[in-house]
Amino acid sequence: MGSVVVGVVGTLLGVLIGGALQQLQARLTRRWQQEDAFSAAKQVAYSEYLRSISAGYGQAKSGQRNRSEDGRLYAVTAQIEILAGQRVAIEARELVERIIEAHSMIAAGAGDEQAGVPEIDRDRHAVIELFKSDLGLGAAGPRG
């Protein structure tokens, strides 16, 4: 009779421990999926930010400055402010103001040097490095 009780208790403990481990695994899986989705949203926002900068520069250089990219750039910067940490968001916002001013100057006939493009490009690269760091990417690609 004692071995039956030990067997039943052992089985019940096994079921309880197995259920608890299954719940823990489900929570971890959900959290990993959420983190992946969050990282993917940041990656899309960062890519759109950089694309808008390039497209705005192209508009300014061609004299076709309709400011559509300025609006897109402001919109994606707002997304970055929600998704990213404060340091990344502040750097992205400050760069946007300088970029839009430079694009306006270029469209009005100023050269890249006069508009401060070399300095802005240097700062753009610094923001790219912040983006990479925020996404957990090194210079050679994903960590791992």
Residue 127 belongs to what domain range? 35-138
Per-residue pLDDT tens over the stretch 32-49: 888 888 889 999 999 999
Reference 62, options 125, 31, 107, 98; nearest CA is 107
Q: Is residue 26 in a domain?
A: no
End-to-end CA distance of the chain: 54
Per-residue pLDDT tens over the stretch 74-131: 999 999 999 998 999 999 999 999 999 999 999 999 999 999 999 999 999 999 999 9
Question: Considering the entire predicted model, what is its pTM?
Answer: 0.75
- CA pair distance 22, 26, nearest whole angstrom: 6
Query: Could you write out the DSSP letters of every residue in 34-54?
Result: HHHHHHHHHHHHHHHHHHHHH
Q: Is residue 14 in a domain?
A: no
Q: Is residue 12 in a domain?
A: no
Number of domains in the chain: 1
Q: Is residue 20 in a domain?
A: no
